[in-house]
Amino acid sequence: MKPAWQKYLIILIVILGLGVYLFHKVDLTTADLGRHIKNGQMIFEGHFKEIVSHNYYSYSYPESTFINHHWLTGIIFFLIEKGFGFGGLTILYGALLIGSLLLSLKIQPKLHPLVLIIVLALVIPLIGNRFEIRPEGFSYLLFSIVWLIVHNFSIGRWSKKVLWWLPLIMLVWVNLHIYFIFGLGLIIAYFVWSLITKRDYTPIILPGLVSVGACCLNPSGLTGLIYPLNIFRTYGYNVLENMSASYLIERGLTNPVYWWIVVVLVILVVTSIWQYMINRQWRDLIIQILAIIMGLVAFNAIRNTALFGITATVALGINFQRLIKIYLDNPRRILAITGAVIWLVVIVIFNPLVSARAEALGWGLGEGVGCQKAAQFIKANNISGPMFNDYDIGGCLIYELFPDIKPYVDNRPEAYPEGYFQEEYIPMQSDPALWSEYAKKYQFNVLVIYRADLAEWTQTLLGRVEGDNQWVRVYTDERIVVYVANDTKNQTVIDKYGQ
């Protein structure tokens, strides 16, 4: 058993290490958070059916159907924001991620503290990369809880009675976030592992089947259960977090976490093979297998870096500790030096990323950021829709302007018809003739665009509209630009603010 001070040291490192990433003022500009809060509000106002099954917010395709797999998170976020403000949401999300990492350490509680310090240096950048407040925070915590349950039962540390917590957890999880599928994956993985290792697998069968049934208790039933397997079939828009690390590295994006995934995955694979070739101890091989699988999943889609970090924490800890016992008689000094060097390297590598966010450290809603000022300008000057906006700021505009002004689009590709982005949204911004056609069809009166949108077509539209006398720029800040149609309806605001 570790002395109390060592336990507190590990907890402190986790809180400080992840806190640098997680405890920052909220910027709603391109975030999903505003829409999640609005989801909760609309559900309380009696629009549950529309929120969970239809593209309720957009006026362009309001009848488009989809599955809202995080509706319960919207209720929680709305209640916390109403009761404790955005600061409450910051603390909640930080607690979810910190708690998930600390719980994962319980899977292998006998790891040497100095080994853990080295491991934490490797995994904290992966987990901290998912710093934006999202429903997935609940998934990280529930993933660690389910993993702890099935693993401790598998090795005989806990009795089979604990397995009956799984259906209840999965019932809640399926309505919080789409990553519930990873919870079912853990149950299936440990069932298969029990078969392979010839352990008693029968106690997990019935709780596992009931867990699958519990996942059908969502607004979409069986369709909701299999939705994680189908969600990308109608995606018509490339979202950065769904891209692979190799794709982003090849295109020169500078976030060091993209290749850090590769570094940690290589270390994990090499040390796993190395220690098993020497030890021939297969008892915990399931942990290494899970971590490597999650590493490959994260490499394929960077949105999964946190789950990789959580699983790699345990797997790397086991690998390092076993190798140290083989090669070092008195490892304390070497471990301390190694840990210090690795932390120094991590700080140097990730310092530019962390420093860029230093001004936002704290909690609550950041002042003067997001689309708040632009929305206030629109409301103060009675500018009406229909509104055209770019994909990135749809969630922020929903939070600030809905239902008075509905967005043209928002950042939920799955909520729009198949082909919409490739056949309408992108071409209309690139092609002047198509832009005129759709501007007439939707009768756009105001354009609200995120100036830093990286999409080539949005930048093309910005350049064209700026020189088009049919539109007048009436508002500009460091992030948002607002144009209104050059007609008599907007004459007052044009005379006063036209640029």
Task: Please check whether residues 310 and 457 belong to one and the same domain.
Answer: no
Most confident of 10-19, 62-71, 106-115, 278-287: 62-71
pTM: 0.92
On whether residue 286 sits in a domain, the answer given is: yes
Task: Please check whether residues 16 and 104 belong to one and the same domain.
Answer: yes
Across 73-211, where does the E strand assignment appear?
A: none
Confidence category of residue 328, pLDDT binned at 50, 70, 90: low
Q: Is the pLDDT of residue 371 over 60?
A: yes
Distance separating alpha carbons of residues 489 and 52, to the nearest angstrom: 36
Tokens 């006063």 belong to 496
Tokens 């240096």 belong to 121
Task: Please check whether residues 348 and 384 belong to one and the same domain.
Answer: no
Token digits for 340? 């210090």
Confidence category of residue 303, pLDDT binned at 50, 70, 90: very high
Distance separating alpha carbons of residues 402 and 400, to the nearest angstrom: 6
Percent of the chain with pLDDT over 90: 62
Token digits for 449? 């665009």
On whether residue 485 sits in a domain, the answer given is: yes
Q: What is the dihedral of CA 198, 202, 204, 210, to 10 degrees?
A: 150
On whether residue 367 sits in a domain, the answer given is: no
Contact criterion met (CB below 8 Å) for 472 and 458: no
Last residue of a domain, one of 334, 360, 386: 360
DSSP lists the bridge partners of residue 450 as 480
- Write the CB contacts of 262 (distance below 8 Å, at least 6 apart in sequence): 245, 299
On whether residue 66 sits in a domain, the answer given is: yes
Domain that holds residue 400: 372-497
3-state SS class at 450: strand
Distance separating alpha carbons of residues 126 and 21, to the nearest angstrom: 11
DSSP lists the bridge partners of residue 446 as 387, 484
Pick from 4-18, 51-65, 69-83, 178-192: least confident = 4-18
Distance separating alpha carbons of residues 303 and 134, to the nearest angstrom: 11
DSSP lists the bridge partners of residue 388 as 447
Q: How many separate domains does the chain show?
A: 2
Token digits for 84? 């404790």
Mean pLDDT along residues 459-468? 91
What is the per-residue pLDDT across 446-458, written as a single tens digit (0 to 9) for each?
Answer: 999 999 888 899 9
Task: Please check whether residues 20 and 158 belong to one and the same domain.
Answer: yes
Pick from 45-59, 146-160, 251-265, 376-390: least confident = 251-265
Q: Is the pLDDT of residue 116 over 60?
A: yes
What is the per-residue pLDDT across 152-207, written as a single tens digit (0 to 9) for each?
Answer: 999 889 999 999 999 999 999 999 999 999 999 999 999 999 898 888 888 999 99
Residues 354-382 as b or e (16 or more Cβ within 10 Å = b)? eeeeeeeeebebbeebbbbbbbebbeebe
Which of 214, 231, 106, 126 has its CA nearest to residue 170? Answer: 214
The DSSP code for 28 is -
Q: Is the pLDDT of residue 297 over 60?
A: yes
Q: How far is CA 369 from the centre of its chain?
A: 21
Token digits for 339? 């840990």
Task: Please check whether residues 408 and 334 belong to one and the same domain.
Answer: no
Tell me the CATH number at 400: 3.40.50
What is the per-residue pLDDT across 10-19, written as a single tens digit (0 to 9) for each?
Answer: 777 778 778 7
Q: How does strand 471-476 pair with strand 480-485?
A: antiparallel
On whether residue 194 sits in a domain, the answer given is: yes
Last residue of a domain, one of 328, 360, 392: 360
On whether residue 401 sits in a domain, the answer given is: yes
Q: Is the pLDDT of residue 384 over 70?
A: yes
Task: Please check whether residues 252 and 386 belong to one and the same domain.
Answer: no
Task: Please check whether residues 415 and 316 belong to one and the same domain.
Answer: no
Last residue of a domain, one of 360, 392, 414: 360
Rounded to the nearest integer, the mean pLDDT of the chain is 89
What is the per-residue pLDDT across 197-209, written as a single tens digit (0 to 9) for each?
Answer: 888 888 999 999 9
pLDDT score at 358 = 58
Sheet containing 387-389, strands listed edge to edge, beginning at the edge strand earlier in sequence:
387-389, 446-450, 480-485, 471-476
